[in-house]
Amino acid sequence: MAGSSILDSFRQAPWLTRRRLVAYPRLFLAVYFVSAVVWMLRSKGLIDPAGHPIGADFIDPWSASWLTLHGAPSFVYDVARLWSVERTAVADPAVGFAGFHYPPIYLLIILPLALIPYAMSLLAWTVTTFAAYLATMWTIDPERDSLWLAIAFPGALVNLTNGQNGFLTLALLGGGLLTIDRRPILAGVMFGLMSYKPQYGILIPIFLLATRRWRAIASASVTVVILAALSFAIFGAQTWHAFFSSITFTRQVVLEQGGSGFEKLQSAFAAARLWGFSVATAYVVQAAVALIAAIIVIWIWWRTPKFELHAAALATGVLLMTPYMMDYDLVLLALPIAWIALEARRNGFLPYEKALLAFVWLLPLFARSLAGSAKIPIAPLAILLLLADVARRALAPREQFALENAPQNPHLTRGFPVK
């Protein structure tokens, strides 16, 4: 009986009421605020209590911008030169090295960063990209309570505290999906701009070809060509040569040897390496997961005409395709969570779906620490379960949907049409 009761609590999730969905994000934000105040009081200048620069991962694009503005774009891929600028940026000779692992296309985006001092630049970058993130989430679901969930999303916090570019990636991917049907050329431009972070573009051309989005394909292709040509013309062939030479370092040291820690990497590849499997075996595991994800995503697009499921599937699938996925990139999970929740509010939640969405919403808060302390890399499995949930929703006839939330949790569906 006890086991059945526990299963029922996850199946129906009666504890996930609308009132709690309103209250908990604000509680999370209050905790974030108090933690930020304590953290700033303990920080020394631009160095946090752990000895890292504030917005630790922002230091490499800012330093890359500085080198480029001073006429040395190829030096962004030189460890000694980049590290020297990074230490100067925060006036600390002991600061650790943060590598620049992006193609020269990214230099076109970050070029203005070093026009102002590091701290001001970090603030401007954070405000601008966070605004793009919120605008995308608001466009998906213009509900005030949903916006609070987006603001308090732990994935957003992880990205924000690292000074990373996950908000930008999310805005481009989300924007491309939101405009794919009405304005395919604009969608293609957004997908093309994602070439600054090419590991998240692996699935997009497969999806565009499989769904015969010819105008979007042409637009994305032209965008990538223009960006590559511009970066080649502005920064020179030497910079591109330096980038290609740096790929070996990134692959061997950062990815295969886990230079940043396998607990920070959240891919299937990293999970296999964390458990002690060889590099070759880890690549096989990653390839298998990527193939399964690609097949499921394409099947969902063929199976159902529902846009929310199309978008949720692709946004989830891109995270499963790459071996190089860091914990701050889990902010992209905000997209499928929002689209699945939107579809579920309209047509009812499937069994265990609300519990799964709550778990994935919390995932960025503990994924890295769980992998580091207990050697449990939960992120790849959680993302696969999320994709499986989208497939289940695409497969299930409407009469099989479990509209259990209406009688048990009237607060949850208040104001939303449930058919």
- DSSP one-letter string for 45-92: TTB-TTSPBTTGGGHHHHHHHHHHHTT-GGGGG-HHHHHHHHHHHTT-
pLDDT value of residue 404: 44
pLDDT value of residue 356: 95
In three-state secondary structure terms, 201 is coil
pLDDT value of residue 103: 97
In three-state secondary structure terms, 16 is coil
Query: What's the rounded Cα separation, in Å, for the pair 165 and 298?
Result: 27
pLDDT value of residue 393: 94
pLDDT value of residue 386: 97
- Give the global pTM: 0.91
pLDDT value of residue 406: 43
pLDDT value of residue 233: 97
In a structure prediction context, what are the per-residue pLDDT tens digits for the chain, which is 419 residues long? 555 667 767 777 777 778 888 888 999 999 998 988 888 888 887 888 877 888 889 999 999 999 999 999 999 999 999 999 999 998 888 788 889 999 999 999 999 999 999 999 999 999 999 999 999 999 999 988 889 999 999 999 999 999 999 999 999 999 999 999 999 999 999 999 999 999 998 999 998 998 899 999 999 999 999 999 999 999 999 999 999 999 999 999 999 999 889 999 999 999 999 999 999 999 999 999 999 999 999 999 999 999 999 999 999 999 999 999 999 999 999 999 999 999 998 888 999 999 999 999 999 999 999 999 999 999 999 999 999 999 999 987 654 554 444 444 333 333 333 32
pLDDT value of residue 4: 60
pLDDT value of residue 52: 81
Query: What's the rounded Cα separation, in Å, for the pair 121 and 117?
Result: 6
Please report, to the nearest 10 degrees, the dihedral formed by the alpha carbons of residues 359, 363, 365, 366 taken in order.
100
